[in-house]
Structure 1
């Protein structure tokens, strides 16, 4: 998955955020998350060393406000933001493209998982019909239904484990999990549940 910020861009973007007004560390991380639609939520280990470097360069100052450390841009920092306004426009445009690409990749993975689940359910229905035909009408339908219920449970559990593993692995590798993607996943699961309910009710 492509990074949201190219090398050096995050430094300038941090200066730009502080040029809008003083912020504490958590506020900066939240602003980055908000402006990338939740696809990029940096860790403290990413942000604070960069803020410290900006402070060393005389572009940022910090002060303590109660239990919070507040960062503010200096005149030198403001001058750099003004001088690199064109670069910031490019960063904003690239950021929007990166966010769209990341969201598309994640949505594609979710759709593939949804297709796999639908295929599993369709195969289970087909096998159920074939089994019923082969066994004849003398078999107890309740027994056959319980057997198919076990198969459906197994398919659902397999899907859950596979998707959960993919999502956890993505986050563990440093990937971002957008709220919009989770919303779409929830909507897709609701849609599948309604489809199954509609089939069961005939």
Structure 2
């Protein structure tokens, strides 16, 4: 179904804007729309071609054949209509930008939740290791130095948790930067979010599998 931003003839206006950038064939227009909306909207050929035909009938676009492809190009009349409806086009562009930004924010929220969960599990494992080391140290306190295995285990655990936290923070920052960059290009898709959630869940499971049982 066509999104609300393309109600009342707005899709044809957006098609004119895309053709004003450069001549395109139908599939390229579909791809361009999908990219602009971060994959949240991908029109079918049955949606695009009838509108292109209507634009051609009205003299707003022309078409030519390039091998087996039909290429559409905006006409002077099409540019005139585009310019006359520039405020409406700007409103559509703003809506597209907001839609992609909301999607990117959703991805970042999922990443943050996964990071917090993994940090909590690591912290819990660190506390458990510390308790275990304390018990071991106490049971051998009669003739064993407190700087033995128990102390070494606490230091090693603390160092590992600190390093893991640094890795998570660096990953979060890098991914956040990547998402912002791609969102500005309209390339963040729901499929990216699904893949990210699945991979983070698998990483968490793999990490937890290496931790000792409580």
Smaller-chain TM-score range?
0.5 to 0.7
Partner of 2:6: helix, strand, or coil?
A: coil
The CA RMSD over aligned residues, in Å, is: 3.1
Q: Is 13-22 or 41-50 further displaced after alignment? A: 13-22
Whether 2:58 is the aligned partner of 1:57: answer: yes
Gaps of 5+ in 1: 119-177
2:164 match: none
Task: Judge conservation of contact 1:4–1:98 (CA < 8 Å) in 2.
Answer: no
Q: TM-score, normalised by structure 1?
A: 0.58
Whole-angstrom distance in 1 between the partners of 2:95 and 2:79: 22
> Where does 1:69-84 land on structure 2 (aligned, <5 Å)?
69-84=70-85
CA deviation after TM superposition for structure 1 residue 100, in Å: 4.1
Equivalent in the alignment of 2:198: 189
Q: What are the equivalent positions in structure 2 for 1:53-202 lying under 5 Å apart? A: 53-101=54-102, 103=103, 180-201=189-210, 202=212
Residue deviations 1:35-80, cap 9 Å, x none? 1222221110010000001011111111111100011111111111
Q: State the TM-score, normalized to the length of structure 2.
A: 0.55
Q: Distance in 2 between matches of 1:13 and 1:90?
A: 11
- C-alpha contact (below 8 Å) 2:18/2:29 kept by paired residues: yes
Is the partner of 1:58 in helix, strand or coil? coil
Q: Gaps spanning 5+ residues in structure 2: where?
A: 118-186
1-structure distance, mates of 2:14, 2:190: 25
Task: Judge conservation of contact 2:2–2:43 (CA < 8 Å) in 1.
Answer: no
| TM-superposed deviation, 1:184 | 2.7
Q: Is the 2:61–2:74 Cα contact (8 Å) retained in structure 1?
A: yes
Residues in 2 aligned to 1:2 and 1:55: alpha-carbon distance in whole angstroms: 21
Measure how far apart 1:188 and its partner are: 2.2
